[in-house]
Amino acid sequence: MEYRTLGRTGIQVSSLALGTDNFMDPTPAEECEKILKKAMSAGINLIDTGDVYADGEGERIIGKILKDNGQRQNVLIATKIDHGQRRPGFTLEEYDPSLGPNQHGHTRLNIIRACENSLKRLQTDYIDLYQLHRQSPNIPMDETLRALDDLVSQGKVRYIGCSTHPAWAVMESILISENKGYVRFVSEQPPYNLLDRRIENELIPVCEKYGVGIITWAPMAMGVLAGRYDDPDKFPEGSRAALRGGFYADRVTEKGIEVGRKFTKIAKDLNLTPAQLAILWCKDQPGITAPLIGPRTVEQLEPLLPVLEMQLDEETRKACDELKNFHCKKIVVIPEKDLKTRDVIKNFDCKIITQNSDGYGNAIIEGIKEVETNFLCIFNADGSFDPKYLKNMFNKLEGGCEFVFNSRYEGEGGSDDDTFLTLTGNKIFTFICNLLFRLDISDVLYTYVMGKTSAFKSLNLKEKDFRLCIELPVLAKFKKYKFISSPSYERSRLSGRKKVNELKDGFLILWCILKMFIFKKWKRKSL
């Protein structure tokens, strides 16, 4: 039986943790007791719950079971204080009107009150791991951390953590704790599975760097990887998608089901169930402390327990990874007179489009018209765009935004092609665009962009030349699309030459910005 160190602590936790979101909703009390006893007898010592699970009844039944069997000292209880919006009958974005103005969120007032209530329901005088259940973005993190620090000082809480927080929020909490001497987060609890690998981009590296354990939820992708779904619009009776809807149902997609079918075949060839393989894959990924398993019945739990003794071999890991590998269809737009380029790429697997009108913008516009896939990326042919960033961009798109704009001026970004004048001009125009249009991007003149094809097509781009790089993010903002910035490094071009006329092009860019600002101000219908 393998036990793993939780973050920068000295405590050891089992490589699988018991999630109890189903306790009392819909799992009845007698079955909850059987599940808990079975998990503990198998060596699982981390029990995860939350104050909104079954509106507090999940905590209450766990507390009763542990008190009755005298096993409190043999387990680690991890519970959560909700951000205050998750209530029966309400979405994550809705507030229950029955709640008072100070009865939700991670304020000092509500944290202390919620902790006292959890202690009563759990029938214990301390909580081993107290976690923030999602973010309360309007509440200062230093207020939240100070309240949690006081709870630790009082002995009511042993360790603190968070759940479903982005990497920047985890990093912010660490900085505040270090600067003010508050207790630090020891864990983060994000969604993670073969179909949702967003945390590999930023969260896992941050947690590994700063000693934060990762306890993941949804290792079976809401049952998609377990083979429970055949149709994204028809949910099996008893599934979370059918019972709860909302984000549970949203995660059931046609693409996910397709991957799930292939995943099921891999599991069968290994004499494993799809659920076993899904959890094993998650358990043995780099940086993961323990995935949560959330069975509704003992019958669902029992086949998962052997995973505690399994290890994921490299051959199986590669086979699973290949199911979500990044593949693309290539479209090359070539001016009619460019016979050399046409001759070079004719033997490659590319769709060649003859450009009807000159200009960089026209090439992109004509290429967009030909794209039939769900996503597209604008990729220059001179070799300056590094393809290693493609998968990272794609993963971020799957996180729920419409565009990812790469930046040479964030994080690991940089450029081998910038001059002092082009760098200065870019900084100035980026500042102006962010000021006028509230874009919140750091490199407005860089066209290394990936987005949803439908979003690209809806923009109805018009700029025929390099000014399209300004037009694209501004129109995306006008359309109220979600977009983010991501760092990338611009390499020295392998062919071609820079055609920038700093003075002339600078005036053209400035006029483009002013023109679109006027359009916005007068609410031009075409936009």
Q: Which residues are catalytic?
A: 53
Give the Å distances, CA to CA, from 204 to 194, 207, 210, 249.
15, 5, 10, 26
Run of H or E including 263: helix 254-269
Please name the residue that has the structure tokens 């020891």: 186
**Rounded Cα–Cα distance for residues 278 and 264 (Å):** 9
Report the alpha-carbon distance of residue 405 to residue 448 in Å, rounded.
7
Distance CA 363, CA 375 (A): 18
3-state SS class at 87: coil
Question: What b/e sequence results for 153-167 when a residue is b if at least 16 CB atoms lie within 10 Å of its CB, and e otherwise?
Answer: eeebbbbbbbbbbbb
Strands of 91-147, DSSP E: 127-133
Using CA atoms, how far apart are residues 361 and 341, in angstroms rounded to an integer? Answer: 19
Cβ contact 108:143 at 8 Å: yes
CA dihedral for 514, 518, 521, 525, sign (positive or negative)? negative
C-alpha 261/C-alpha 264 separation (Å) is: 5
Judge whether 157 and 151 are in contact, CB under 8 Å. yes
Distance CA(176)–CA(104), nearest Å, equals: 22
Four-residue CA torsion sign, 429, 430, 435, 436: positive
Q: How far apart are CA 355 and CA 92, in angstroms?
A: 47
Q: Where does residue 420 fall: left (phi above 0), alpha (psi -120 to 50 degrees), or beta otherwise? A: alpha
- Rounded CA separation 399/395 (Å): 7
Neighbours of 445 (CB within 10 A): 19
DSSP assignment string, 167-236: HHHHHHHHHHHHHHTPPPEEEEE-B-BTTB-GGGTTHHHHHHHHT-EEEEB-TTTTTTTTT--SBTTBPP
Is the bond preceding 487 in cis, omega lying within 30 degrees of 0?
A: no
